[in-house]
Amino acid sequence: MGERTGVEPCIVTAFDAGGQPLFLWPFGRTRKGPLRLARFLGSKHSNFNVGLWRRDIVASVDKNHIHEIFDRLKDHFDLAVLSNQPSVWDGLANPFALLAHQPSADMSACATLRATTEPAINQILSGSMRSRLRNKERKLQKLPGYRYVKAAGAAEIDRLLDSFFAQKARHMAAQGLANVFAEPGVADFLREACHHALPGGRPLIEIHALDSANEVLALFGAIIDDYRFSSMFNTYALGEDARYSPGLILLVHMVNDCAARGVKSFDIGVGRAHYKSFFCPEPEPLFDSFLALTPRARPAAAAYAAFFAAKRMIKHNRLSWAGVQLLRRLRSHP
C-alpha cells in the first residue's frame, strides 16, 4: 500500500552497548513539496500509533534523549507528523508524550475486562441494555443458519471479506465518504493479513461475524494479543435485519469471548460513533506531535498544528460535526 502512495519505510532503531534493541519506531517517509515527512506507517488504517520500547528502559527515557535522537534524524526528515498516539499503552507511559504535543482530533476509549464469575458483558452494559439486545437476538436466531463465528479456514475468510468489502462500499457511499478500502492495494493487504498465521496458528487479523444463510449480518476485523483486543474494521447489513442491531449483538459475543481468553482490554477503534460509548466507557487520551527537525520545516509544523486543532474543534462541537455529516450525505445524493 505504501509503495503505491509514495511511502518509503524508514524504521528507526537503537541498541545498547551489548547490541540489544532498545526501541523501534515504525516510521515511513513521504514528501510534501520540498519537505521530507516522518509519519507512523499505516496512514488512516492505523488506530493507535506508538513505538515498540523495551519495558525496562522506558522509565529512564527523558525529553533530552528523544530530542537528541530526532536531531540525528534531520538528514532523513524535515518534519515529524505523529498523530493518534496513546498517552499510555499496556501500563507504560508513552515516551513521545515528553515532546511538545496537543490533543488529537479523534477520540479513543476502551473497556477493562476483569476476571469474574459472571459474563464480562455484565461489567459493561446495563441490565436494561442487555435485556433489549437479548430480545433482538431472539429475532435474529429465527434466521436460517444464524450463528456467531470466528473465521477459520481460507474459504471462510475470503467469503466474509468479500461480504465486508461489498457492505462497506455501500455504507461509505451512503455517508458521502471516500471508500478507503477501495484504494489500490488495501483489499489485497487486508486479505493477505487475514490469511497470515502467527506462531501457534492464530491469525494476524481475526474476523468475528454474525452470520446467516442469507447474508453476513455484522462483521469486525481485529488485532488481538494478551493485553488488548483492538478492532480495525467493521460493517453490518443494511437490510431489514439491521433494525435488530446485529453489530451490537456481535460486540456482546466478542466481549465475552475476549474475557474467556484472558484479554485485559477491549476497544472498537479510534473515532466518533455513539455505539462505542456503550461498550468502551473508559476514555483514552490521544495526542499529536508536530516536530520541525530542520529550520525550513518550522512554518509547516505550525500549520499542521493549527489544522489539526481546528479539526478537533469541529469534531468536538456537536453542531459543527452534524453540519459536516449533513454536507457529506448531501454530496452523496446530488
Residue-wise pLDDT tens digits, 104-146 = 998 899 999 987 767 889 889 999 999 999 999 999 999 999 9
* Sequence-ordered list of residues with C-beta below 8 angstroms from that of 84, at least 6 positions apart, any chain: 40, 46, 47, 48, 49, 104, 106, 108, 270, 286, 288
Please say if the pLDDT value at position 156 is more than 70. Answer: yes
Question: What is the rounded CA–CA span in Å between residue 128 and residue 14?
Answer: 52
pLDDT band at 318 (very low <50, low <70, confident <90, very high): confident
Residue 186 burial by CB count (10 A; 0-12/13-18/19+): exposed, middle or buried? middle
Please say if the pLDDT value at position 289 is more than 70. Answer: yes
CA torsion, ordered 33, 305, 292, 48, to nearest 10 deg: -90
Please say if the pLDDT value at position 222 is more than 60. Answer: yes
Residue-wise pLDDT tens digits, 59-83 = 999 999 999 999 999 999 999 999 9
Please say if the pLDDT value at position 167 is more than 90. Answer: yes
Domain parsing of the chain, residue ranges: 3-105+285-332, 110-282
**Whole-number pLDDT of residue 227:** 87
The grid coordinates of residue 167 equal 457492505
Are the beta carbons of 157 and 206 closer than 8 angstroms?
Answer: no
Give me the CATH code for the 110-282 domain, please. 3.40.630.30
Residue-wise pLDDT tens digits, 257-275 = 999 888 999 999 898 788 8
Mean pLDDT, the chain, whole residue set: 91
Question: What is the rounded CA–CA span in Å between residue 229 and residue 132?
Answer: 25
Q: Return contacts of 156-160, CB within 8 angstroms, 24+ apart.
A: 157/191, 157/194, 157/195, 157/203, 157/207, 158/191, 160/207, 160/209, 160/211, 160/216, 160/219
Lowest-confidence pick of 15-29, 57-71, 172-186, 245-259? 172-186
Please say if the pLDDT value at position 158 is more than 70. Answer: yes
**Whole-number pLDDT of residue 322:** 67
pLDDT band at 193 (very low <50, low <70, confident <90, very high): very high
Give the mean model confidence (pLDDT) for residues 35-53.
Answer: 91
Query: CA 149 from chain center: how many Å?
Result: 22
